Amino acid sequence: MQPNALLDALLAEAGMSHAGLAAHVNQAGRSRGLALRYEHTAVTRWLKGQRPRGQVPDLICEVLGGRLRRPVSLDDVGLGLPGQPVSPHGSPLSGFVDRAAALWRSDEQGRVQLLTAEAVTGTPAVIPVWEWENPPEDADVSRDGPNRIGPEHIEILRAARAHYELMYRRAGGVATRARIVRFLGSETAPMLRGSYPDGLGRQLHRATGSLVAVAGICAYDSDAHGLAQRYFHQALRLAKASGDRGLGAYVIALIVNQSLHLREYRQAVAFAEAALRAAGRDTTPALTADLYAMQAKAYAQLGDTSAALACIRSAEAAAERIRPGTEPDETGYVQPGLVNVQVAEALLSLGDLHAAHEQATAAVGTPAHDRGRVHRLAMLCEIQLRQGEADGAVAAAAEMAERAKGMESLRLRDRLRAVREQLLTSGCSGAEETAQLIDGALRVPL
Predicted confidence (pLDDT) per residue in 18-46, tens digit: 999 999 999 999 998 899 999 999 999 99
Q: What is the pLDDT of residues 172-220, one digit of tens each?
A: 999 999 999 999 999 999 999 999 999 999 999 999 999 999 999 999 9
Examine residue 324 and say whether the peptide bond preceding it is cis (omega within 30 degrees of 0): no
* Helices 198-221 + 245-261 axis angle, to 10: 10
CA 156/CA 187 separation, integer angstroms = 9
Q: Which pTM value belongs to this model?
A: 0.86
| Residue 110 pLDDT greater than 50, yes or no | yes
Q: Name residues whose C-beta falls within 8 Å of residue 166's C-beta, 6 or more positions apart in sequence.
A: none
What residues does 195 pair with on adjacent strands? 148
Q: Would you state the pLDDT for residue 82?
A: 59
Q: Which range, 38-42, 113-117, 308-312, is most confident?
A: 308-312
CA 298/CA 349 separation, integer angstroms = 10
CA 107/CA 257 separation, integer angstroms = 22
Mean pLDDT, residues 402-406: 90
Q: Which helix (H) or strand (E) holds 371?
A: helix 370-387
226 vs 54, 121, 217, 221, 248, CA distance in Å? 34, 10, 12, 12, 19
Confidence of residue 446 (pLDDT cuts 50, 70, 90): low
Residue 330 DSSP symbol: G
**Domain boundaries defined on the chain:** 5-90, 92-243, 392-446
Mean pLDDT, residues 316-344: 94
Q: What is the pLDDT of residues 205-264, one digit of tens each?
A: 999 999 999 999 999 999 999 999 999 999 999 999 999 999 999 999 999 999 999 999
CA 326/CA 335 separation, integer angstroms = 13
Q: What is the pLDDT of residues 152-169, one digit of tens each?
A: 999 999 999 999 999 999
